[in-house]
Structure 1
Amino acid sequence: MEEFKARPSDIAGLSRLVGEIGTQTSLAPKYFDEEALPRADFTIGTLSIICDPFRLLEGTWRNRHGDLSSKCTSLGEELNRAAWLYDDQERKTYDAINAVIELRYEGILTAGDPTRQAIGHVPEYDVTVDYGAPNGIVYSPPATIADDFADVIREAGGWVADIDHFIEVHTGRSPIRDLLDPIGGNWNEVKRLGSAFRIAGEAMENAGLSLEGGVKRVGETWDGAAASAFDAFAHDQVEAMKWEGPCGRVIEAASNRIADEMKKSVISVVAKLKELLDKEVDVTDGKNLVNIALKKVPFLGPTYQIGTVILIIKDTIELVEQMVARIQEVTGAFAKFISLVTSPSGYLNEQFDKVLEPLTDAVERTKLGIDIKNTADSGPMMRAPKNPFDAGDGTDPWADAV
């Protein structure tokens, strides 16, 4: 048996800390809507495979983080109520809280009595211990990196990129871009999205750590049935909040892998294309072709070579198909991964390593070891409290723990 005891000033101090956690994390839903949805065209190439998973992930995280935040807000309010209930521990009545409640009229006046709390607004408890402020709840926009598709082509292709530009200027189409369309577009947008989930996940994780510190501290001053119920609620709430950090970091790593695979594939295709063109087309004439193009002087020889360039570009399609197949393996794994972390079950833990393998190499799995392990164990998220904390009615708030 654990006898009831409570120090209302400590419970009120924790109430203010938890209320501030709720206020700061309430920014999460807006953050997801603004930062965690694709901005670039995700309907082309391999990006189309991950468009819907990203949208599903955004909706799931927005709702889940919103719920975790609202649970903190309501917990802060209930702890403030508990502080008032414990203001007069000798009589163990509702007189102290009823004396300060701003009554709310609901057809009849809802004033309480010594055994029943009045209905209305409960002001903040007036004597509090400073439990500090939450740390690390930051929703900063992820870095936006410009689309460097053209720069990568230019760097990998050299003079071939210049000729491709010449063809595009004169025909309205870029043969190289047409060739690479199946691979996809702005891989840096995939990285930005991954960063957004990591930032939001770490903000909620830090919120959970701040709550955890306050829960441990108040435990030294509060015992009894209500305290035991609070401990159980807070444990599940804290663990659910902390789970979001590792999951966000794994999502970012997986997103980076997709982006890197896309970029490497483009470089491989363009480099191979340049190798073939170097064998078939006189590079010197190619450079002269660019000069002629810039001067807008018609010249039959270069026109012939343009046709050669286009034919060789088309011959590279087999390599593109190989690259697309490799990227599809990664994006397909990402889609499965998102499905697991948005609708987890025991299946998540059993299948996680297998699904994640194409998304991370050995070095990343070592670096992310603890995060992968914690994400795979979806129990904390599944055990998140479904209902707000309630210190009880009648004599329950003052009851001893059995």
Structure 2
Amino acid sequence: MKQKKITQKKYDDVKLVHSYTKEISELSSSIYSLAHDVKKHEKEMNSFVDSFIHVIASAIDDKSPYTAGHCNRVPEIAILIAEAAHNYPSGLFADFKFKNDQEKREFSIAAWLHDCGKITTPEYIVDKGTKLESVNNRIHEIRTRFEVLWRDAEIQYLKNVLTDSSQEKTFAQELKLKRQELHDDFAFIAQSNVGSEFMSDEDIERIYQLAEIKWMRNFDDTIGLSPVEELRVGKVNCNVYPIEEKLLMDRPDHRIERIQEFHVDPAFAIKMDVPELLYDLGEIHNLTIRRGTLTAEDRFKINEHMISTIKILEKIPFPKSLANVPRYASTHHETMKGSGYPRKLSAEDLSIPERIIAVADVFEALTAADRPYKKAKPVSVAIDILHKMALDNLLDLAVFKLFIKSGVYKVYADKYLPEEQNDLVDISKYL
């Protein structure tokens, strides 16, 4: 019986048996000591594993100053929702219970590791705040070309005056108009680069028109390159300068090929469209992104963190008590209608813990003030967005309602969000 209790991890139920028979007494004492030694060892190992997991999560947050705290805050929201679900007596959650502390710990660990795959995502892709941003914001290169055009216009004005000084006022007016045109054109490109507004067909057509503006380059752009850049640029035989170039270009060296063919174990059941290129840095290609700042290549690279999460966690020999960690951690970008990633799972495939982590992840992202590509949403706006996502079957509606009805959103907001962001929410319109 005592051995069975140890197997069941009921260490405190193991009691000493007092017997006048020496062998029985010694055996009881040994089993009692064993139970408490195993309990102590298990506690130490759990503490070690938890600390290691928290270090990994913190390292991912530290990798980018703009996502600092995300891996720490999502588990807190998720656990609060899960505890509310655990105590909710009806509906979807009527049969949802953490049977023991191990199940609750399993869920917590999954929430902590939900973004562990981001350790493989380049920082400048995660933090891409403008369309032309790579390691640096390339809008400055385009601005320099406008500076060249500005000086060319001024030089042309001076040449015209030298040729015919009687027309100086006319030439001066032409220069003024040209300068205003350059200002307007650059302002349009710069605003397009920010990606805060939807690009219409007319806007995109204007980008293509501006791309055709010519400027003169006098210096060799194939020197001072890294070996990798030299391979992309290739051999260019040009000994005659200046060279006429377009204001905006999608050059061959902007196309970053994959070094290795993309491959994922079929057992992972990944259903994501893989772009041909690893990256496409083309200036026109990026500036004509209709919404946001990410190209299809950028989006895939970011979404690929879920594949990396699966690869990492599936290689870890989790004990039986933590067997669901890889699954719980890798499904928070799936949707109730099967439009998510990486496996295009739908409602019938997603457990309550998985649905909870998805809501926690979105709410934290909406209210976070440390993202370069968006402003933090007030709580009321974040709740409204969550509601719309739930109505559109992107998130679970029952989990959303529990999130607001239980007051979890308020508990989190009071702890983490500034007063001006933590506004009042009329939850009655959502229930």
Shorter-chain TM-score: what band?
0.3 to 0.5
Q: Which has the higher contact order (CA 8 A, sep 6+)?
A: 1
What TM-score comes out, normalization by structure 1 length? 0.32
The structure richer in helix per residue is 1
